[in-house]
Amino acid sequence: MDESIIRESLSKLDELYKKVILSLAKEKNLDIELDFNFDENIEEVFAEYKLERAELMLELSSTYELPKILDPVLRKDLKEFIQNGSAGFTNTSSTNDQKIRAVLKALDEDLKPEFSHEREQDLELDLFYSWFSPLDYVYGQLELAPIVLKHLDVPSKLNRLIIEIRECIIFQKYYAAGIMLRTITEIAIDDILSRNFPEVVQDFKTLGERLEFLSRKSQFAIPAEALNYYRKDLNEFVHGEKLIDRKKVKQYMDIVLTQIDELYEKSV
C-alpha cells in the first residue's frame, strides 16, 4: 500500500470538500467560516470529489490484501474518512450547530464515490471480466443445480441457504460456502427433529447430540451417521481452523445435501 498516494488523495479530498462546503454555505446562508475561496464550477467540483473518493476507496479495496498503513496519523485520518466521509476530518464537523451538522450529513450522501462512465467500463474489464465472465456464471449454475427435496414445506431459510451456497461457489467464496454447509446441516437437523420427535427437540444442546440421537433411529441412521462423520470438518470451517477449495467444497456440498435429502425422504 503506497501511503503517499493515500495521503495525497486525502489532502485533495479535503480541499475539494472545503470548496463544496463554501459553495453550500453561500447558497443556504449557513454560518460556516473557511479561510478558502474559489471560482470553479460547483458541479465540476462535485464530480471531481466523487471521482477522487472512488479512486481512494478502489486503492484500498481492489486487491485480496488488507490495507496496512504504518503512519499512525495517516491511519487515524483514513479510518475517520472511511467511517464519516470528509466531514469526519475537516474542522466543519466540529460545529455545534445542529442545522449545519444535519446539512453536512445529508451532503455526504450526495458525495458518495462515483466513477465516470468510461472509468467504469475500464474497471469492469480490469477487475471483473479478467477474473470472471457471464458465461462462467451460466455454466456454474448448470454445474451446481441444487438437489431436489421431497418436502415442499422445508424451512424457508433452508431453501434460501441452499440456493445461496451455489452463488458462493460460483463466485469462488469457498470458505463462506463451507460455513454455510454447517448452518444448512443444523437447520435441516432441527427441522427433522421437530417433525419426527418434537418431544425431544429441547433435550439436545449441540448438533453432534442431535445427530447421534438420529443415528440411533433405524430410518435415519445412515444419513445421520454420514453427516455426523463430516460434522467435525464443518465445525473447523466455522472456527477458521481449516480452509477449503472449490473441489473440496463441491464434494462436501454434494455429500451434505444428499444426506439431508435422504433424511427428508424418510421424514414424516
194 confidence band (pLDDT: 50, 70, 90): very high
Res 55: pLDDT = 92
Separation of alpha carbons 77 and 85, rounded Å = 10
Segment 205-215, tens digit of pLDDT = 899 999 999 99
The answer to whether residues 98 and 8 belong to one domain is yes
Over residues 154-182, the mean pLDDT reads 89
Segment 70-113, tens digit of pLDDT = 999 999 889 888 887 776 555 554 455 666 666 667 777 778 88
Over residues 165-192, the mean pLDDT reads 91
Report the percent of the chain where pLDDT is more than 70.
84
The answer to whether residues 179 and 156 belong to one domain is yes
Name, in order, each residue with C-beta under 8 angstroms of 116's C-beta and a sequence gap of 6 or more. Answer: 51
Q: Tell whether 127 is covered by a domain.
A: no
Report the percent of the chain where pLDDT is more than 90.
29
The answer to whether residues 99 and 176 belong to one domain is no
Give the number of domains in the chain.
2
**Boundary residue ending a domain (69, 96, 120):** 120
**Boundary residue ending a domain (97, 120, 143):** 120
Cell numbers representing residue 172 in the block:
469462488
pLDDT at 69 over 60: yes
The answer to whether residues 104 and 145 belong to one domain is no
| Residue 151, amino acid | H
Res 223: pLDDT = 94
Higher-scoring residue by pLDDT: 170, 26 = 170
The answer to whether residues 47 and 113 belong to one domain is yes
The answer to whether residues 75 and 145 belong to one domain is no
Separation of alpha carbons 245 and 107, rounded Å = 44
146 confidence band (pLDDT: 50, 70, 90): low
Segment 6-24, tens digit of pLDDT = 999 999 998 888 888 777 7
Domain boundaries, position 185: 132-266
The answer to whether residues 259 and 175 belong to one domain is yes
191 confidence band (pLDDT: 50, 70, 90): very high
Whole-model pTM: value is: 0.70
51 confidence band (pLDDT: 50, 70, 90): very high
Q: What is the DSSP string of 164-192?
A: HHHHHHHTT-HHHHHHHHHHHHHHHHHHH
The answer to whether residues 80 and 146 belong to one domain is no
Res 207: pLDDT = 92
The answer to whether residues 42 and 81 belong to one domain is yes
Separation of alpha carbons 225 and 257, rounded Å = 14
| Average pLDDT of the chain to the nearest whole number | 83
Segment 218-249, tens digit of pLDDT = 999 999 999 999 888 888 878 878 778 888 88
Cell 472545503 sits on residue = 18
**Boundary residue ending a domain (120, 143, 173):** 120
